Structure 1
Amino acid sequence: MVICATLLVAGCDEIGLKSSPTPQVRPASLRVTPPAPVAPSAQSADLARYYAKVQNDLLTRGLLRTEGGGPDTPYSSDDLVRNFENIVFFDEYSRGAGLSRTRTDQSGRLSRWSGPVRIGTEFGATVPQDQRTRDKAQIDRYASRLARITGHAITSVRTGTNFHVFVVGEDDSDFLRGRLQQIVPGIGKAELDLFTNLPRSYYCLVAAVSDTNNPNDYVRAVALIRAEHPDLVRLSCVHEELAQGLGLSNDSPSARPSIFNDDDEFALLTSHDELLLKMLYDPRLKQGMTADEARPVTGKIARDLMGQQL
């Protein structure tokens, strides 16, 4: 099963990423030149073969669908409201539990970005140049798609990044560690180890950080995508982690067709998921709303969106 870990945190939290009222652009001296490609180690090559077998197994079983849903996956406005609530207001990783799946039944509050999301992509030295070119183009296209869906300011940038996407291999831990220390000064050893020693069963990771003065306003995010994944699984990680970093933080077994479901049926963002993002960034919803406060509003939004599809 493909597992994408998501840690959406407020202020200084379980992974120790410190928030700030406004993400600061780092001076030129802290910007790094992309490392020249180098050959991966035997350990990295073994990992790539393992993930290739996993992808092949999933595809053989009819999973990792890419068409976004169809007649076999109908959903209603009531489904959207239920799935939105489960995915936005709950978190499968409880605070202080690291990567332990200890979801509580206590509902949280609606969190999302209020300011522009500026996505920057960096690659480890073991990522081949052709893969860098392909991945960067896909991330750029996806950022534009997310902007169209949400109506929010989401762009790919070279400088001034506040949503950092790292595509790195097993051998790139020193590079990743150094960049995280630049991006998040004061980050601790345990938090660095989480990113640089991610268990093999976890395919990708995103951590979003909120404003110190507003725990429901995200101001920075860091996503980790394993370079050893075959193309489709790697792209599926991009789709899920970037969307989750915008505020769709949880998974739900009832969400279908959706990438926010651990069954791996779908690899890429679906029509259902696009509507969830539209709902999340609809101005009728406000940061800090509880599930009870949002429910009447999400019902109206969902009916409006479903009516537009008729």
Structure 2
Amino acid sequence: MVLRLTLLAGLMALSACTALPRMEIPERRDAALPATLPPMAQFALRSAPAPERSNAAIARDILDLSFQMESGREITRLSRFEGPITVAVVPGAPASLSADLDRLLARLRREARIDISRVSRDSGPASIVIETLPRSRMQRVVPQAACFVVPRVSSWNDFRRMRNGRDLDWTTLETRQQIAVFIPSDVPPQEIRDCLHEEVSQAIGPLNDLYRLSDSVFNDDNFNAVLTGFDMLVLRAYNDPALRSGMTRAEAAAALPGILARLNPQGNGGGLGPSGASPRAWIDAIETALGRGSTNDPRRIAAARQAVAIARSQGWQDNRLAFSYFALGRLSLTRDQDLSLASFLAAGQIYRQIAPGGIHMAHVNMQLAAFALSSGQAERALELTGAALPAATQAENASLLATLLMIRAEALDLTGRPSEARAVRLDSLGWGRYGFGRTDAVEARLNEIAGLVPRT
């Protein structure tokens, strides 16, 4: 997103699932880190599967993404880069950023057919400049941003000097020439990677996010963190020669059917699917529910309840209703476990219909597996984590993958399979290093999940 809100900055601490004390076993050493951690795990470079909905629906989505800002302001003219795109990184970025950026650019070249390449900072002006800085420094200027992208600047100093002027107004652009992406330097590698995918994609493509999109990073629910097949098709169409900077919505609407018929022939035919704008009241409720503050804040829980009520009154049966239930489930974990469990089950029922075995269902299954583990249902925890692991891997979500494996290790211990548990727990640590970053953060998650196991 243009200003990526910190709505789902990380998974909720799983120790909140239960008030039960930690399992008192003398050999609890399995929950501690080994003397030597495995290397940070990395996902294999793979292409995302193609979108499954119709080209008519995709054309509508592209128009809604391209001609409106997240605030609701209209964008009257399409803007994009014309010609090859270059990307440079300001020196001092975390080591993980370089490899993840190279992987992203390789995917954009291969899947979206975009002429984009990396250049050194001292080789001349780049189309896109990526600069990292401490989160606290960044949020002193833009408090709600996890990372963001702005036009017509090439450095943080430029941004600070120009931030109150009209030059940073995306709606005044017709052709993109200089864009800067700002990412925190002191966050886990996975969060840096997620920012790269979201902000670079908006630097070269649409600027809006739509909650109705269940298979896209152009969605503030943040379930999808790396570019999907839908996203790659959107970016390929957005940069197709049949479109050009300065086009109106009507002109783009006339061109898109032919573009998509050529790029995505399997999408010809079929209906439009879920549509309609998300009411501002529902968006405000969701942003309040998953914004800053304590999870015990009654205002946040009330906002989640309101989001569910609005979604139901709208007659939605899509991911927006499911996300409302998911938010309510997370926020009610420590206050009302019956409500929390019921909310996760309701969310899962909808997600299972929308995308069986997808990343949304994997998040729900992780929460349900935590409930199962805390009540001693080890086999159920194994079943739920096993079902979620493929989707977490496909979505390249290392923090979710590590959490699932940690739950699985505790469940294996409960079923009397300690050697399997040790191997799974060790596997989780490599993913944890990428997903959670610091060693103490990995250890904290390991101990939170160990604390779910009921006392014997």
Shift of 1:78: 1.6
Tell me how far apart the structure 1 counterparts of residues 227 and 14 of structure 2 sit (CA, whole Å). Answer: 17
For residues 27-42 of structure 1, the aligned pairs below 5 Å read none
Task: Determine which structure has the larger helix proportion and give its number.
Answer: 2
How far residue 255 of structure 1 moved from its aligned partner, in angstroms, is 2.2
2 CA distance for matches of 1:244 and 1:145? Answer: 15
- Does residue 144 of structure 1 match 2:88? no
Tell me, yes or no, if the aligned pair for 1:91 and 1:103 is still in contact at 8 Å.
Answer: yes
Q: d(CA) in 1 for partners of 2:246 and 2:221?
A: 30
- SS at structure 1 position matched to 2:264: helix
- Over 3 Å counting, the alpha-carbon distance change for 1:231 and 1:103 in structure 2 is same
Render the CA deviation track for 1:177-228: whole Å, top value 9, x for unaligned: xxxxxxxxxxxxxxxxx776221x3110101239x9x942111011001123
TM-score, length of structure 1 as denominator length: 0.61
Distance 2:140 2:102 in 1: 25
Give the distance between the partners of 1:265 and 1:59, measured in 2 at CA. Answer: 18
Call closer, same or farther: CA 1:54–1:219 in 2, change over 3 Å: closer
**How far apart in 1 are the matches of 2:13 and 2:262?**
35
User: Residues of 2 paired with 1:58 and 1:271: CA distance?
Assistant: 31
Q: Note the 1:213-252 alignment, pairs <5 A.
A: 215-252=173-210
Q: CA deviation at 1:144?
A: 2.8
For residue 218 of structure 1, give the secondary structure of its aligned residue in structure 2: coil
Shift in Å, 1:163: 1.1
> Whole-Å Cα distance in 2 between the matches of residues 233 and 272 of structure 1?
21
In structure 1, the partner of 2:61 is 83
1: CA distance between counterparts of 2:110 and 2:259?
Answer: 17
In the alignment, which residue of structure 2 is the partner of 1:121? 89
Distance in structure 1 (CA, Å) of the matches to 2:113 and 2:231: 15
User: SS state of the match for residue 177, structure 2?
Assistant: strand
Partner of 2:142: 198
1:286–1:170 CA distance, 2 compared to 1 (3 A): closer
Aligned residue for 1:273?
231
Query: Could you state the TM-score of these two structures normalised by the residue count of structure 2?
Result: 0.43
* Conservation of the 8 A alpha-carbon contact between 1:164 and 1:222: yes
- Name 2:10's counterpart in structure 1: 55
SS at structure 2 position matched to 1:139: helix
With over 3 angstroms needed to count, the CA separation of the structure-2 counterparts of 1:5 and 1:68, relative to structure 1, is: farther
Native 8 Å contact 1:204 1:226 kept in 2: yes
Which whole-Å CA distance do the structure 1 matches of 2:180 and 2:103 have between them? 19
Whether contact under 8 Å (2:183, 2:192) holds in the other structure is yes
8 A contact 1:258–1:266 mirrored in 2: yes
Q: Report how far residue 301 of structure 1 moved.
A: 1.6
Q: Which residue of 1 aligns with 2:115?
A: 153
Asked if structure 2 preserves the Cα contact closer than 8 Å seen for 1:68 and 1:257, the reply is no
CA deviation map 1:41-82 (0-9, x unaligned): xxxxxxxxxx8x94223999xxxxx998779x8422122111
Q: Give the counterpart letter for 2:214 in structure 1.
A: R
Deviation larger for 80-89 or 145-154: 145-154
Pairwise CA RMSD:
3.4
Q: Is 1:119–1:143's contact at 8 Å kept on the other side of the alignment?
A: no
1:209 alignment partner, one of 142, 148, 152: 152
Pairs within 5 Å for 1:126-137: 132-137=94-99
Report if the CA contact (8 A) 1:69-1:257 is conserved. no
Q: Give the aligned residue type for 1:166.
A: E
Instruction: Say if 1:162 and 1:278 are closer, same or farther in 2 by CA, change over 3 A.
Output: closer
Encode CA deviations 1:62-113: one digit per residue, 9 max, x unaligned: xxxx998779x84221221111001111112xxxxxxxxx323x34211110
Contact 1:68–1:266 (Cα < 8 Å) also in 2? no
Cα distance, 1:170 vs structure 2:
3.8
Matched, 1:303 2:265: no
What code does the residue aligned with 2:177 have? V
Q: Equivalent residue for 1:108?
A: 76
Contact (CA 8 Å) 1:123, 1:168: kept in 2 or not? no
Deviation at 1:248, TM superposition (A): 1.5
> Contact 1:5–1:206 (CA<8 Å) still a contact in 2?
yes
CA gap 1:296/1:69 in 2 versus in 1, 3 angstroms: same
Distance 2:116 2:246 in 1: 21
Which of structure 1's runs of 4+ aligned residues deviate more than 4 A?
66-71
> Which has more radius of gyration?
2
Q: Percent of pairs identical after alignment?
A: 26
TM-superposed CA distance for 1:4, in Å, is 5.3
Stretch deviating more after TM superposition (73-82 or 267-276): 73-82
Q: Counterpart amino acid of 2:212?
A: S
